Amino acid sequence: MENFSGKIWVLGDDIDTDIIIPTEYLALKTVNDMAPYAFSPLRPELAAQIKEGDILVAGKNFGCGSSREQAPEIIKALGVKAVIAKSFARIFFRNAINNGLLLIENDKLRDAVSEGDEITVTINETIEHKGIKYPITSLPQNLVEILEAGGLVKAMQKRNR
């Protein structure tokens, strides 16, 4: 995985899966059809504003609620490079990794940043914001392999080859 920089969007605590994608849009055919409605109960304008390579920064318990895997898929479909949160709900954590969406836990960054700021992520080392470096833990190698393949199914196909 390569290091990256990007513009951030800032969200609060307990961003649940019904906020990430409300039930009424789950019947749409593809995640790309659903993506414009991401976060709509909270910030209906947000999905249209997110650009390829942007980063989400949130509070605690991001992704709590349902096991709907469309939630991380849609965040990825919006072009989000990574989600950085104080903590992640466990089903969402597995689903995100399984879909190749990078998650980083950090409990300090959220309260130090403002929306629109730029941050730089050095994989397995730090997040840098306005000259301050926040240490991050490294991901286990098996999860890195899944992320690099673009998700668990792709990793399985790669292994089978």
Say which residues have a Cβ less than 8 Å from residue 43's Cβ, sequence separation at least 6: none
Minimum distance from CB of 96 to another protein (Å)?
9
* CB < 8 Å & 24+ apart, contacts of 125-131: 127/84
Do residues 59 and 110 lie in contact, with contact meaning Cβ atoms separated by under 8 Å? yes
157 is an interface residue for another protein by CB under 8 A:
yes
Cα 143 to Cα 24, 102, 149: the distances in Å are: 32, 10, 10
Cα 137 to Cα 29, 118, 122, 131: the distances in Å are: 37, 21, 11, 19
Minimum distance from CB of 56 to another protein (Å)?
18
Minimum distance from CB of 118 to another protein (Å)?
29
Say which residues have a Cβ less than 8 Å from residue 157's Cβ, sequence separation at least 6: none
From 90, 108, 130, 133, residue interacting with another protein (rule: CB under 8 A): 90
Taking phi first (over 0 means left), then psi (-120 to 50 degrees means alpha), and beta for anything else, what does residue 61 get?
A: left
From 1, 12, 41, 108, residue interacting with another protein (rule: CB under 8 A): 41
Closer residue to another protein, CB minimum distance, 121 or 146: 146
152 is an interface residue for another protein by CB under 8 A:
yes
Minimum distance from CB of 90 to another protein (Å)?
5
From 1, 48, 132, 153, residue interacting with another protein (rule: CB under 8 A): 153
Q: Contact residues for another protein (CB under 8 A)?
A: 14, 16, 18-19, 22-24, 26-29, 40-42, 44, 60-61, 64-70, 72, 87, 89-91, 94-95, 98-99, 140, 142, 151-153, 156-157, 160
